[in-house]
Structure 1
């Protein structure tokens, strides 16, 4: 059995317009802080808190940083970022408040069995940046590997965009799924689709420029908005799809269950026997 990591590292990079803020309380600072808090938290009365604080200042406290092994405590990190950074899964709620006429599900409301199943990797690297992947493209890719879709297959769209990770071109130069290609997969039993690009749709700048020229609203995030008509979810920002066979592997991509969130990060792993 071989495990293949399909997730990018969450980091600040030219490929990500959004940024992550990462703050850390160090081992040494943590020892000092916990010593302070240990004394102050015990006292509820404001005057007793003040007295405890004074004891800390003059060194008459029962616990200090030196009491910890090597004068160090444990670290604590605080990370602030969008649910749409790194390799992540978009829930139906991300696409709109309603799905199939019912309240759309948030990421924590989706069943676990949706995120584990037979993986199919379709090679669509010949589709040029700026072009939308059509239903015909999907059918041809399936015919090339002589595969017929079945219920709950997890389909991965290999565009080759992951090779641009780390550059600005990753965000601006890619192909993307069309509504008709998405509908074809969903109508054939697929509920989870992944892509190795920044967005499931065409890159934002390309879509917006075309919309400004034509004012046709169907040019804006058509694959995303299809999720208002039929329930499905997708994974964005995969990597290493070239290391996968076309079929014959399992995909494991459980999202972090954030209450009420529209998306969540996932460590996507392919299991190849």
Structure 2
């Protein structure tokens, strides 16, 4: 199907007085036409307007033009894309670090001692290092006086405008992958395809990483967060970790061990990876996901 867009003017009146007008607005549509009521409803929702009275659509016409954002008819189960690996008992995320222990603190069987018949509960117990599964790094991970998980703002890790950078089959990912892209104030997610090796011996060796020059470029462009679907955002063959130092030194958060980045569009989506609010910790597992309903 050829991509179609509607161009229109509008006049919106508010029930508490006043109004707003707009000219030559453009909107992607799924199909050849869209009626005025549906267009008005979409406009009000997209602009998050309140106290809306009459909405008048004016000078509406259509053009053939490639859509600028994700299709608006996604199925409900396609709007949220899980970008996290599951954590299970015995999982090895980083060779040399202990695997998590996940067990019962109070089992359902034992809970029968405390509750009436048919009222059982389970209370779990988890022992893990904070670098487990898909996790977020904040400045305290690298710097003694950097902000810890309790001090970072939600605006740094939740509902961020995001962009996917395709670096599949690359190893040393340099600044050339990011030059010319709209990355300022965004979460930059680097797709390498390395997640296919997750939970195998291959995951730890020869993994893709960002170069120091790329980290400097990302910092200077003012990105908010950088994520990667690889074993580490840095080259782990030596003892230096310049990417962590540069990004976390600028309070740019890092998310490592992502997955499913191949399911994302290049842009026009939101990214979230929110950790618990823990004092004295610089890293913790997150449930990272993309919202294509941006």
Q: TM-score, normalised by structure 2?
A: 0.67
Q: Write 1 or 2 for the structure with the bigger share of helix.
A: 1
Q: Identify the match of residue 225 of structure 1 among 225, 245, 260.
A: 245
Contact 1:15–1:169, Cα closer than 8 Å, also in 2? no
Higher strand share: 2
1:80 pairs with 2:160? no
CA deviation after TM superposition for structure 1 residue 13, in Å: 3.5
8 A contact 1:14–1:167 mirrored in 2:
no
| 1:176 and 2:209 are equivalent in the alignment | yes
1:247 paired residue among 258, 267, 278: 267
- Deviation, structure 1 residue 30: 2.0
Structure 2, unaligned runs of 5 or more:
1-73
Partners of 1:15 and 1:168 within 8 A in 2: no
CA 1:238/1:184 → structure 2, altered by over 3 Å: closer, same or farther?
A: same
Mark the runs of 5 or more structure 1 residues left unpaired by the alignment.
Answer: 35-66, 98-102, 209-219
Mapped contact 1:108–1:258 kept (Cα < 8 A): yes
Deviation for aligned residue 1:126: 3.0
Aligned partner of 1:44 in structure 2 is: none
Does 2:156 align with 1:114?
A: yes
Q: What is residue 99 of structure 2 aligned with on the other side?
A: 19
Give the alignment's Cα RMSD to 1 decimal: 1.8
**Partner deviation per Cα, 1:168-199 (whole Å, 9 max, x = no partner):** 11122311112221121121110210000121
- Distance in 1, matches of 2:134 and 2:153, equals 19
Q: Is 1:96 paired with 2:137?
A: no
Query: What's 1:4 paired with?
Result: 81
TM-score, with structure 1 as normaliser: 0.72
Q: Which has the higher contact order (CA 8 A, sep 6+)?
A: 1
Q: CA deviation at 1:260?
A: 1.8
Q: How many pairs align?
A: 211
The corresponding residue for 2:183 is 149
